Amino acid sequence: MRDEDLIILALAVISRDLELVRRIVELANNGVIEEGELQETLKLSVTNLRVMLYQMQDFNLVIQLGAKEDGNGGYLSYWRINKDVAKSFLLRRLKYTKSELMKRKEEDLSGEYYVCAADPSHARLSFDEMIRSMGEGSPTCPVCGAMMEPVNKEEVVKLIDSMIELIDRAIETLEG
């Protein structure tokens, strides 16, 4: 995997917007980005841009080089993409995700869970939570009011196993 692909992927993990990150990396072809130029090109508010840059800085993916006065009472901030940490950041994030998936797998194997029949992303309740909600009437989704149905453990475990396998391959590729 190329260094540029690694930094794009690492920044996209933080920003959750692959196209936006690609444009940022294009603008930083020499490694340094001026915040005002970035804001103008990406059409982001100053607040949203700074929040994103500070989140990236929290993981050392970008470094604020400094600021200088622009002559109009404002400041021009300069940032550099820290390409050296992209690989280690991705490895840490993948390993963390793998451990969380393994915990979720154990949790699903050891308990019984129920999800909204209309949209499983609405709610996921344990057996105990379902029993408690039955005291208030029939157990329904707290979001939309649809009935709750039991989770198919085998399907969930199979999906988690496939995700863990994919993560293992990604880790192997990054470490190899």
Give me the CATH code for the 3-81 domain, please. Answer: 1.10.10.10
Of 2-6, 44-48, 76-80, 150-154, the poorest mean pLDDT is in 2-6
Average pLDDT for 106-124: 92
What does the domain layout of the chain look like in residue ranges? 3-81, 91-112+152-176, 113-150
The full DSSP string for 90-114 is: HHHHHHHHHHHHHHHHHHHHHS-EE
pTM for this prediction: 0.74
pLDDT band at residue 1 under the 50/70/90 scheme: low
**Percent of the chain predicted with pLDDT > 70:** 98
For the cut 90, the answer to whether the pLDDT of residue 95 exceeds it is yes
Specify which residues 147 forms β-bridges with. Answer: 140
Specify which residues 31 forms β-bridges with. Answer: none
pLDDT, tens digit (0-9, with 9 covering 90-100), for 154-168: 999 999 999 999 999
pLDDT, tens digit (0-9, with 9 covering 90-100), for 11-40: 898 888 889 888 888 888 777 888 888 888
Average pLDDT for 76-82: 88
Q: Can you give the pLDDT at residue 58?
A: 95
Grouping H, G, I as helix, E, B as strand and the rest as coil, residue 44 is coil
Specify which residues 5 forms β-bridges with. Answer: none
CA dihedral 84, 86, 92, 97 (to 10 degrees): 180
pLDDT band at residue 148 under the 50/70/90 scheme: very high
Mean pLDDT of the chain: 89
Per-residue tokens: 12: 């996209």
